[in-house]
Structure 1
Amino acid sequence: MDTNRLSDTLAKALNQQMTNEAHNAQIYLAYAAWASSKGYDGIANFMFRHSSEERNHMMKFLEYILKRGATVTVAEIPHPGPNPSNVNDCFEKVFQSEVENTKSIYDIVNLSLEEKDWATWNFMQWFVKEQTEEETMALDLLSKIKIAGGAAAKDDALYALDNDMGKTPDDATLAQDTSVQNP
């Protein structure tokens, strides 16, 4: 008896997203190693934590595919690309990676809507919110490096930024979670 409740198209898209999440984990891991090698231990710690978070996202997709009775396809993870040239470049690359991931998430949401696969649509809503947090976090990083001087940031500003990054929480405050009392 066939217990698969995912279309071939959705199963393929979910498997691809699982690989995307693994790729994002590798990107954060590579940037963490790069930051650590440059002496930016606070930035490295932040990036290591986000690498772990991306691996957790990968596992959510893997479990969902299995629980829907479809086949998980573990594919090769693309190379994370070249190391950043500086902290500003690192944060720009993080932002770009998150934007690309958001587009992929939205494609799956649209596909599940078209197919009227409400279980997958519902599952993906967690990722829609998560990507809003991830993009907000990446924009916050870009704002911090801009204040520090961007690509031309001086060592004292980068030292302060690195210290701040070691204490930066993993979650960003979203617009929908703010109020007049809690801006």
Structure 2
Amino acid sequence: MVSKKTYEERRVSSISPKTAELLIAQIGHELYNHNLYKTFANYFAVKGLHKLEEYYTLRAGEELEHHTWIVDRLNYADVSYKYPAIPEVDAEIKDEEDTFLQTLDKEIETTELIYNIVNTAKEEKDWETVYWLQETLVNEQTEEEHISRKFLKTAKQDTDWIAKEEYILDSYNESSGEDE
């Protein structure tokens, strides 16, 4: 038997209110990540490492895409929302390698936030959203953490940054199917 509460909630939206609240917050997180990666792109542009500028610009574009996936999902499910405030980027960059450490840490944080949304959707028995999250954001985060770990290792190598940026951009483009 379907509860009265379920009927009332689902007549408004197919996403549970708790899950919707977390997805709306995630919009802000994805946009913050976009701004963080654009900040890193600027750092490398000023340093004259334009392939790393391009790499971080591409990474920023992915964050914007994740934001769009969430917005599209919320719209599809008839969730009414306001965009969350996006905090100012407050990252201090110590050196080139530090951007890669901060990137990995940010991706780990993002993964944990998404896992929390999945767990909440499961608790709410919001199976449609659980499936959507696993097929989109969970799979994407697995890839993003892997790439971030891989390129942090590259950043730590004892070689010049021209060689590192060449390898990082080429590997990234190859893994994402982008052309140079």
TM-score bracket, normalised by the shorter chain, equals: 0.7 to 0.9
Change in Cα spacing, 1:67 to 1:60, as seen in structure 2 (3 Å) is same
Report the counterpart of residue 162 of structure 2 in structure 1.
159
Q: Which amino acid aligns with 1:159?
A: I
Q: Which amino acid aligns with 1:137?
A: I
Look up the SS of the partner of 1:92 in the other structure. helix
C-alpha contact 2:13 2:78 (8 A) present in aligned 1? yes
- The sequence identity of aligned pairs, in percent, is 25
Report the counterpart of residue 180 of structure 1 in structure 2.
none
C-alpha contact 2:36 2:89 (8 A) present in aligned 1? yes
Provide the alpha-carbon RMSD of the alignment. 1.8
Report the counterpart of residue 31 of structure 2 in structure 1.
22
Q: Which amino acid aligns with 1:100?
A: E
**Residue 171 of structure 2 corresponds to residue 168 of structure 1:** yes
TM-score (normalizing by structure 2): 0.86
> Which range moves more in the overlay, 73-82 or 96-105?
73-82
C-alpha contact 1:22 1:77 (8 A) present in aligned 2? yes
C-alpha contact 2:118 2:133 (8 A) present in aligned 1? yes
Change in Cα spacing, 1:29 to 1:104, as seen in structure 2 (3 Å) is same
Q: Distance in 2 between matches of 1:171 and 1:65?
A: 31
Matched pairs, number? 166
C-alpha contact 1:30 1:83 (8 A) present in aligned 2? no
Q: Deviations over 1:55-114 (max 9, x none)?
A: 010011011111111113212211222341211101000001000000000000001111
**Residue 106 of structure 2 corresponds to residue 103 of structure 1:** no
C-alpha contact 2:24 2:83 (8 A) present in aligned 1? yes
C-alpha contact 1:6 1:70 (8 A) present in aligned 2? yes
> Which range moves more in the overlay, 78-87 or 101-110?
78-87
Report the counterpart of residue 122 of structure 1 in structure 2.
131
Q: Deviations over 1:12-44 (max 9, x none)?
A: 101001111111111111101111111111111
**Residue 142 of structure 2 corresponds to residue 132 of structure 1:** yes
Structure 1: runs of 5+ lacking an equivalent: 149-155, 174-183
Q: Distance in 2 between matches of 1:85 and 1:172?
A: 28
Change in Cα spacing, 1:93 to 1:21, as seen in structure 2 (3 Å) is same
Q: Distance in 1 between matches of 2:163 and 2:174?
A: 20
Change in Cα spacing, 1:171 to 1:6, as seen in structure 2 (3 Å) is farther
C-alpha contact 1:42 1:162 (8 A) present in aligned 2? yes
Look up the SS of the partner of 2:28 in the other structure. helix
**Residue 22 of structure 2 corresponds to residue 13 of structure 1:** yes
**Deviation for aligned residue 1:170:** 4.7
**Structure with higher helix content:** 2
Q: Distance in 1 between matches of 2:35 and 2:89?
A: 6
Structure 2: runs of 5+ lacking an equivalent: 1-7
